[in-house]
């Protein structure tokens, strides 16, 4: 009973919100891309590139601010490159995304070996400082968690209350009609992809900062789970927020069950977040409608 009660504690809640952060930034970033009609499987790669960039710059300069900026810029450049392939050259979005994931993961592993003479992880570095005045609420003392919370109403406002959001959604639904009304379709598609990369970089930065290092495979498929959260959340910021919380709850529960020594086999516990993802996706297949022109070259 004591072990069960420990699950529903402030410490556990803090862990849930920490786990939630990379899922949410990946999922909400993906929503910007897919609202513009570009399927972005490369979210996993964008998490890797931003985590690696933040770690390396932090190690060599010791500046968190510079590390933050460089990580965002790296993802912006990669996003532009992804947009050139998918929007301008009209390559298949899924194939291009998988290619980017493999390329970025391989490049990160190569650069770790080149810079640090190891094949697994970078040296440790200082994490992003917490906000001391909010230390009594551990899950709100992390600046990136606060940014994630603020992104929910901000994205809802952008999508549904601004001219940019209206045009972005129109491009994802019917680019021919949008272009007939004078909307620059390619511009909005590229803008959606670039915003996806920049927003996703916050998730990668959080992962590297939280673990105080970059290690091989540290994203552990979070980019793909973020895509599932985006689909289940029907590309709507508030829905995505709660779906990411659900996935984070099960990941935190997995960690908690391993710590308290549950009778459940460890292999099953470790696979719990992925099993939940599959089951929820199965339940929602056919019940969500993506933007009509999502993934359609134009």
* pLDDT tens, position by position, 30-66: 999 999 999 999 999 999 999 999 999 999 998 999 9
133 in a structural domain: no
296 in a structural domain: no
295 in a structural domain: no
181 in a structural domain: yes
Do 54 and 22 meet the contact criterion of CB atoms below 8 Å apart? no
- The whole model's pTM is what? 0.91
171 in a structural domain: yes
Nearest by Cα to 189 from 290, 91, 75, 87: 87
User: pLDDT category, 186, cuts 50, 70, 90?
Assistant: very high
Judge whether residue 1 has pLDDT over 50.
Answer: no
Instruction: Give the residue numbers spanning the domain of 53.
Output: 2-128+141-284
Segment 138-156 mean pLDDT:
89
- How many residues are given for the chain? 298
Q: What is the CATH number of the domain that holds 176?
A: 1.10.3470
Segment 93-106 mean pLDDT:
95
Structural domain total, the chain? 1
Q: Decide which of 9 and 213 is more confident.
A: 213
Nearest by Cα to 205 from 113, 110, 74: 74
289 in a structural domain: no
Q: How does the average pLDDT of the chain come out, rounded?
A: 88
297 in a structural domain: no
Q: Decide which of 76 and 267 is more confident.
A: 76
The angle subtended at Cα 93 by Cα 90 and Cα 97, nearest 5°, is 125
293 in a structural domain: no
């Amino acid at each position: 009973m004591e072990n069960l009660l420990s699950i529903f504690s402030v410490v556990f809640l803090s862990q849930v919100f920490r786990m939630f952060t990379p899922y949410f930034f990946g999922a909400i970033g993906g929503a910007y891309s897919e609202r513009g009609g570009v399927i972005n499987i490369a979210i996993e790669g964008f998490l890797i590139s931003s985590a690696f960039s933040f770690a390396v710059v932090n190690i060599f300069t010791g500046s968190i601010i510079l590390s933050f900026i460089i990580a965002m810029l790296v993802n912006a450049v990669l996003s532009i490159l992804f947009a050139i392939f998918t929007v301008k050259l009209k390559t298949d979005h899924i194939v291009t995304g998988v290619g980017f994931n493999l390329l970025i993961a391989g490049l990160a592993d190569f650069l770790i070996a080149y810079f640090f003479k190891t094949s697994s992880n970078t040296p440790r570095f200082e994490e992003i400082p917490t906000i001391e005045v909010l230390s009594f609420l551990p899950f709100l003392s992390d600046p990136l968690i606060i940014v994630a919370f603020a992104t929910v109403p901000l994205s809802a406002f952008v999508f549904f209350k601004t001219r940019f959001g209206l045009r972005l959604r129109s491009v994802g639904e019917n680019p021919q009609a949008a272009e007939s009304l004078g909307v620059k379709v390619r511009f909005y598609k590229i803008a959606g992809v670039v915003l996806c990369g920049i927003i996703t970089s916050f998730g990668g930065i959080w992962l590297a900062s939280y673990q105080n290092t970059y290690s091989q495979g540290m994203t552990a498929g979070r980019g793909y789970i973020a895509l599932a959260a985006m689909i289940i959340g029907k590309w709507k910021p508030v829905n995505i927020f709660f779906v990411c919380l659900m996935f984070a709850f099960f990941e935190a529960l997995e960690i908690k069950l391993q710590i308290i020594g549950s009778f459940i086999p460890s292999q099953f516990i470790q696979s719990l977040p992925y099993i939940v993802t599959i089951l929820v996706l199965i339940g929602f297949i056919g019940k969500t409608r993506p933007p009509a022109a999502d993934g359609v070259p134009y």
